[in-house]
């Protein structure tokens, strides 16, 4: 009898955890203001100095600047379990064209034993990282452009929805929903991931790429998807703050749901935002991470020029393929 009662209680508990909606009402923009160029650089230097004692070698935030405000300031958000170095090669291309570029380290990333650190990552931390990066960028350049991949793509989508002081956003393979979860199961799974005890899987870290992790954590990934849920809800209700948004998706992606990203884009278009979509073809065989040149399978010769055009060019047609 006791075992039966325990089993019934456990099932009821799971049902309540899966059925009770997650709160995303606080995941809105908080910071305003335009710092001076010197103040913005000092702030990033303080962040990096703190990270030097916290993260593994080569895992700190990255700032590439020309010594003064530039016509363009570009923020790049890396993906979950990676580090700012994921975007370094691409950032250097933008820097060579005169932009000041900032790649902030995502919360709890690139630390020794990072999978356990990622257990504590929250959607609020991701929001704060995106929010503060935009404010810093306003001090670095006259026009602010933002791009991000995966979890960073979700952060870029959040910026598009919430930050009117950004000129253009490029959302790359955003982790709004996962590929292998039917949409009807997506929200309950996220609720369980956030509320149940954490599960972590961590593979050995590569000696040659110490800033990148290989594994997952249910709490950290659940919070990442909670930010995606906030973007979905906001896009349904209100127009995005940024009116020039571009999506770069990968038809071969087996990690995130392209359909969820396209649905958010449809909501933005319904609110009269200009939204362009570029789909990398399945024939390229690219993994979810289309950015990092350290990937075994990579095509920066294809992806970087497309992404550069999306970031820097005038508005393009609504849909395109390469």
Q: Where are the domains of the chain?
A: 40-321
- Across the chain, mean pLDDT equals 86
Higher pLDDT: 159 or 1? It is 159
pLDDT of residue 245: 98
DSSP result, 145-199: EEEEEEHHHHHHHHHHHH-TT-SEEEEEEE-SSBTTS-HHHHHHHHHHHHHSPP-
pLDDT of residue 112: 81
pLDDT of residue 9: 30
d(CA 64, CA 89): 12
For residue 81, give the H/E element and its range. Answer: none
d(CA 28, CA 290): 28
Confidence of residue 119 (pLDDT cuts 50, 70, 90): confident
Q: Which of 77, 85, 47 is nearest to 206 (CA)?
A: 85
Q: To which residue do tokens 């948004």 refer?
A: 245
The whole-number average pLDDT for the span 119-133 is 93
List Cβ neighbours of 87 (8 Å cut-off, separation of 6 or more).
Answer: 62, 76, 78, 103, 149, 291
d(CA 55, CA 139): 26
2 Rama sector, left if φ>0, alpha if ψ -120 to 50, beta otherwise: alpha
pLDDT of 24 over the 50 cut: yes
Which is the CATH superfamily of the domain at 40-321? Answer: Alpha/Beta hydrolase fold, catalytic domain (3.40.50.1820)
pLDDT of residue 110: 78
The whole-number average pLDDT for the span 95-113 is 91
Q: Which tokens sit at 251?
A: 């038809």
pLDDT of residue 17: 46
pLDDT of residue 5: 30
Confidence of residue 18 (pLDDT cuts 50, 70, 90): low
The whole-number average pLDDT for the span 10-30 is 55
């Amino acid at each position: 009898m006791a075992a039966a009662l325990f089993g019934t209680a456990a099932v009821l508990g799971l049902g309540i955890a899966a059925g009770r909606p997650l709160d995303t009402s606080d995941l809105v923009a908080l910071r305003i203001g335009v710092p001076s160029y010197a103040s913005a650089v000092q702030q990033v230097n303080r962040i990096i100095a703190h990270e030097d004692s916290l993260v593994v070698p080569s895992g700190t935030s990255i700032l590439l600047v020309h010594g003064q405000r530039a016509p363009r300031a570009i923020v790049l958000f890396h993906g979950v379990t990676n580090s700012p170095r994921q975007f370094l090669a691409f950032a250097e291309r933008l820097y060579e064209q005169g932009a000041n570029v900032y790649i902030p380290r995502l919360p709890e990333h690139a630390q020794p034993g990072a999978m356990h650190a990622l257990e504590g990552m929250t959607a609020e931390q991701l929001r704060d990282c995106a929010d503060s990066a935009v404010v810093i960028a306003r001090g670095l350049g006259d026009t602010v452009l933002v791009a991000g991949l995966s979890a960073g793509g979700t952060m870029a989508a959040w910026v598009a929805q919430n930050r009117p002081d950004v000129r253009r956003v490029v959302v790359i393979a955003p982790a709004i929903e996962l590929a292998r979860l039917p949409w009807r199961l997506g929200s309950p799974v996220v609720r369980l991931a956030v509320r149940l005890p954490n599960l972590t899987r961590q593979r050995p870290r590569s000696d040659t790429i110490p800033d990148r992790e290989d594994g997952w954590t249910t709490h950290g990934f659940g919070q990442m998807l909670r930010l995606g849920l906030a973007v979905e809800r906001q896009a349904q209700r209100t127009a995005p703050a940024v009116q020039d948004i571009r999506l770069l998706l990968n038809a071969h992606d087996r990690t995130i749901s392209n359909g969820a990203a396209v649905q958010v884009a449809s909501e933005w278009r319904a609110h009269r935002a200009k939204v362009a979509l570029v789909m990398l073809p399945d024939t390229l065989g690219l993994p979810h991470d289309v950015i990092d040149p350290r990937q075994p399978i990579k095509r920066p010769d294809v992806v970087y020029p497309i992404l550069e055009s999306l970031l820097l060019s005038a508005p393009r047609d609504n849909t395109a393929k390469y």
